[in-house]
Every structure is written in structure tokens, then in C-alpha cells.
Structure 1
Amino acid sequence: MNHDQRLRDQLTKLLEGGLAFQPVGELFKDITAEEAGKTVPKLPYTIWQLLEHMRLTVNDILEFCQNPDYQYLTWPDDYWPQEKAPADQQALNKSIAEIQTGLQTMIKLVQDPDNDLYKPFPHGEGQTLLREALLVAEHTAYHTGEVIVLRRLLGTWK
């Protein structure tokens, strides 16, 4: 196996989670709409807001990677929802499914040998697929940790 494929495989493991942080699928599988909308004193966000932020961010990064006509979003307004709770369980499940789909899409981009991991995107400012994959992994790990803390504070996580 060559070095390029080894790197792609390690990026895939990082994006899937489970090495140093809880895989998204396991963490999110039992969250209810009620739990997702609960507030915790002195924290500025709910689980729902974190999930939606993760969904919006991974979708934005994928859009950047795949669309040469990408338009930058406005920080923080376009990345954080105002609503503290999902409308219902279906909305929550849809958000979770989109996060998982986004991670799988990034894995497909990383695993495609036709995609140069090191070549800067022509429409960017030096960003590469490698950098964007690492950003998705780091962002997911960071906010996954926050969701675990919130779930523990709410008494819904072991």
C-alpha cells in the first residue's frame, strides 16, 4: 500500500470517529427532540443548536470542496440556528442523518484517488482537500465532546 492510500485510510478513520472520540452514530442514536431542546444553566446552546451547527458546517465545507462557484457564508449567523429546540423528532432525525451523510461524503471525497489531497482549490485561499477533511474531523470531534458534556449534565449519557 502506498503512502497516499495510507493517509486516505487514516483520514477515513479520523472522520468515522471512535479512535479518540465517540462515533457520531453512537452518540446521537438515542437523542430525543425533548432532550435536544433542553437548556443547561450557564451554557449558551442546546444539543439541538450544536447538532444544527455541525450539520450546517459540514454541509458548508462540502459545498466549498465541490463547488467552484462557492459563496462564503456569514459568520456566525449562517452557522448557528436561533431555535433552541427542533420542531419535532423528525427534524432532529433529519439533522442527525445529514451530519452522518456529510461525514460519509467527505470520506468518499478523501478516498477517491482522483482527488488530489494537496492541490489548493482554485476558488479558495490555499485550502486543500486534506485541510478540509482535517477541519471536518476536528470540528466534529470538538462538538461531539460538547454534546457528551451536555448529555451528562442532563443525565442522559453514561
Structure 2
Amino acid sequence: MSTRNAKPPATHTDLAEHLCWSLRGGYAHCGVETAFREVDGGVQGRLLDRFEHSLWQLLEHLRLCQRDLIDYSVRPDHVSPEHPVGYWPATPEPPSLVAYDEALAAYLADREELCGSIAGGDLLTPFPHAAGPDGEPRTLLRTATIALDHQAYHIGQAVTLRKALGCWPG
């Protein structure tokens, strides 16, 4: 679901609504759909000089990290992957012809799951099962802002890479 042209929340007083609107591509963000959709299979796994990752790697990294954030937030028994290897695909190329599109669909479905948690949850109550190394509480607001910040960073990388690859639609 793209909300690129949708209007922002009416008053911005509803923080949960604003966070979800932003995650879906509000204001400064072109959105994951625009950054990663309609990429020819021939360039999904292509590496360029001066670029550390392929579009496939960026997309799959976003998917893996977002899924980890969601699971960490809702499952007391969740164990995060080993960092950094558990958060990046092993190769620059997708493992199959459909893997890229499946990863994008999974990312978007997971984003809607995250937005459902944000909209229906208490943003400020600490998770009973999670605290930082220094005892810092972990909250749904923290999860949402990490997801938003991380997504924006890698969308920027993807847009720059697509321009360098000559496959940016804009």
C-alpha cells in the first residue's frame, strides 16, 4: 500500500498515525515501493564500483532487520540473528528469479504488521521482556523510530544506486 500521494495526518497529534504514514513514505521519503519496485532482474544483484551493496542486498537487509525489530518487540523468546552476518544476504544476487519480488512483498506485509502494532499499541510502555545493556527501556516508539530511520537510510542508498545503474524511473 503506497501512501506517497496521501495526505498526512490531519493534525499530527496522533503520533502512531504519523509514524505509520512516515513508514509508508510520507513527506521526504520516496517509499520502499518506489525505491525497489520494477527493477529488472539483470540489475537486482549487480555491484558497481564505489557501492558496497547491490539492490538485492539492500532490500533483503531491510526485510531482515524490520522482521527482527518486529519479532524483538512482540516475542519475549526472540533471539536476533548474529550481527552483521545474520542481517545481510550472502551474495549480491537474489537466489532465484522470484526472490527479489518475494522479499519486497514480505517487507511491505511486515511493514503493515508493524504499523498495526504501532496503531494498536502503547508507544511508551517498556517491553517487559527487553531492556538495553544499561537497563534502558525498549518501547514500541523506539522500535518505530529505528525502523523509520533505518528504512530512510537504505532508501537513499537504493535511489543513488538505481541512478548509477541507469534504472531510476525519475
Determine the structure 2 residue equivalent to 1:7: 15
1:124 matched to 2:135? The reply is no
Q: 1:5 to 1:101 in 2, by over 3 A?
A: farther
Please state how far the C-alpha of 1:25 moved relative to its aligned partner. Answer: 1.6
Given that residues 118 and 140 in structure 2 are in contact (C-alpha distance below 8 angstroms), is that contact kept between their aligned partners in structure 1?
Answer: yes
What is the rounded CA distance, in whole Å, between the counterparts of 1:41 and 1:48 in structure 2? Answer: 16
Please state how far the C-alpha of 1:72 moved relative to its aligned partner. Answer: 2.8
Decide which of 67, 81, 84 is 1:76's aligned counterpart.
84
Task: Kindly report structure 1 stretches of 4+ aligned residues shifted beyond 6 Å.
Answer: none
1:144 matched to 2:155? The reply is yes
What is the rounded CA distance, in whole Å, between the counterparts of 1:5 and 1:108 in structure 2? Answer: 18
TM-score normalised according to structure 2 size = 0.85
Given that residues 49 and 81 in structure 1 are in contact (C-alpha distance below 8 angstroms), is that contact kept between their aligned partners in structure 2?
Answer: yes
Please state how far the C-alpha of 1:89 moved relative to its aligned partner. Answer: 3.0
Please state how far the C-alpha of 1:19 moved relative to its aligned partner. Answer: 1.1
Report matched runs for 1:39-54 at 5 Å: 39-54=47-62
TM-score normalised according to structure 1 size = 0.91
Q: Share of identical aligned residues, percent?
A: 31
Please state how far the C-alpha of 1:93 moved relative to its aligned partner. Answer: 0.6
Structure 1 regions of 5+ residues with no counterpart?
none
1:72-123 per-residue CA deviation (whole Å, 9 max, x = no partner) reads 32110110111111123311111011111111111100111xx211011122
Given that residues 33 and 88 in structure 1 are in contact (C-alpha distance below 8 angstroms), is that contact kept between their aligned partners in structure 2?
Answer: no
Amino acid at match of 2:80: Y
What is the rounded CA distance, in whole Å, between the counterparts of 1:40 and 1:21 in structure 2? Answer: 24
Determine the structure 2 residue equivalent to 1:89: 97
Q: 1:18 to 1:7 in 2, by over 3 A?
A: closer
Given that residues 32 and 89 in structure 1 are in contact (C-alpha distance below 8 angstroms), is that contact kept between their aligned partners in structure 2?
Answer: no
Structure 2 regions of 5+ residues with no counterpart?
1-10, 132-136
Q: Which has the higher helix share?
A: 1
1:44-71 per-residue CA deviation (whole Å, 9 max, x = no partner) reads 2111111110010001001111101111
- RMSD of the alignment, in Å? 1.6
Return the structure number with greater relative CO, CA threshold 8 A, min gap 6: 1
